[in-house]
Structure 1
């Protein structure tokens, strides 16, 4: 029998989806499963975007330009320049989701065995993108005790070698929801200038900032034009994950010219998605205001409910629609699987993402779980009731302080 490649064998599985067979098994048993494991919003896609698809009128479903259609890039310029990015159509490469933008950036800017430093926990698929590109991730650990704030710059400097090529951040952060401050962004700027590094910035959650907090992009900082590459997506902003439409933004001409060669090799992004994305830029501000209000309420409900559970700690995030919480269990992956295989409350259970899969450091995050507050408030409340009941029954529950709750493993 032909052999599977070593790269394929070692390709990391997604912690977001790896428990899916157990969730499907629970559903086949008639259980209702509340999906808090994946960032698939239940918010309706803007009507203007859906109407653009319904009103499509073409006779040939053709290729588009490898860099994306000029009309869509013009609309993206309009969107980003409202946010003071000061970009042109020549600074934007349209991609099949932000995922493709990231892989193109890695292939454009890093050679095999080059290193990129990423604060962890980080979006799990960064591991996969790096593996596909033969790039090495050097993680710098952030901590739940201070809400997963940017680690001290001195911790980054300890990891810099002759192979280091980039710092990579996600802001607001997936999986933690942490929103970087202006001061933290300036620290990253100074570090990249000092060591002549790229600054990769995944900004898929730009529109999701709460409590009046302001979003800062490295695009807002002077002196970084040759260093910054921004990745973005319509998936979260417009609740259009299935569109698979993203972009790659930089003012570095050599990077854009090189990235375009990789974009040409994959031919082009989809025509229909770009037509929808073009229309989406005209989404009224009221849509975002309503979405922000809804997510703020969901976040408040989720964080409050988690912190009321004995032994659970959850920091209050400033953005995105995720939290990472610490749980009093022996191993969160085992707990999440047990929730799907063996537990139900009133024939209901919860699917979550074990946070260890969002770390690169061995054994980190084993007592943490990522939860996405992408369900309506009634379902979210029911999910929290299930979770609290499950924690009381779980046989691998840890001791909390000097008091033993449940069975110590």
Structure 2
């Protein structure tokens, strides 16, 4: 890397951002997720340019991009969610789907890993299964803009809650391996969630009050830096830091709900509303840039050597079949109808990668193929892309039928008017 000219790196970074922007436009037209195109582009660039990808050299930058990208993506999603009484059913349904899917997929996949990989105890298999059982908000959120509002909000809630539950499940399991007794583990989990929620709400109030009083023109990235700082410190203390980001975004967006009663005097609504517009813009723009480089570099890291292994192909088929079969029955039970394309939108992505490489050394298995990670990301993303494209074609068909119907109605009205004139 030291021999690469700095100007070539600048040119490359600029080209990647421009191409990513074009992919976003293409995604809006075709509903093919832009992140898939970025991953493919990264792999193609590595092959065409003959770049030797050193995993040890690139893992830290990739991990940092992933962490910052995750914070931005969840914050961006939270700033678009309204907390209203009418949304309680939606929040409950999305939480139920996220929770049931996470735990079913974890244990279903763990059984498959033990069968196809072999030589694993159940605990190790579960630790390897959790990352692949989490729906990626990093892929879902930028991909569902073309859906109707209720479906889009459901998927944003579901994927964000899946991220949070999955991360909590993974780290609480890993960090309590030496804890004796299920009761003690349960108490640790509940205290962690309760402590994180209490700290999140307190920090949210404090930051919003401080946020509205800063007079300097340079404050938005300062504000974001404070959020990143709290996230990182929370992780060091084994808190559910992603929950802190989600709570902060919800409190900021729904400030009139949280600053009610005697707290209203501490809220300067005009100041917050004016600055929030710029804060949302910077969050969205930064999320776009970080997501672009993360998935492009991820594409460069891909090797196909471990993909076409019979056991990995069979394990992926087993996992995908179980994933969508269970998801179909859950959606059919909850929604009865109108659950397309939601039940096909369950991609794996950023969180799966970050947690996969966060597996403790004592549980690492040298012969565990990374092909299952790559195949799961690609196959679930393809299913999502197909469902979104099919849904968009369905909308076009419905629109054409509606236009034809309205034209027929207008022709009928014109014919009636002409008959009335003739009778007169």
TM-score between both structures, scaled by the size of structure 2: 0.23
In terms of fraction of residues, the more strand-rich structure is: 1
TM-score between both structures, scaled by the size of structure 1: 0.23
Q: Of the two structures, which has the highest relative contact order with CA contacts closer than 8 Å and spacing of 6 or more?
A: 2
In terms of fraction of residues, the more helix-rich structure is: 2
CA radius of gyration, larger in: 2
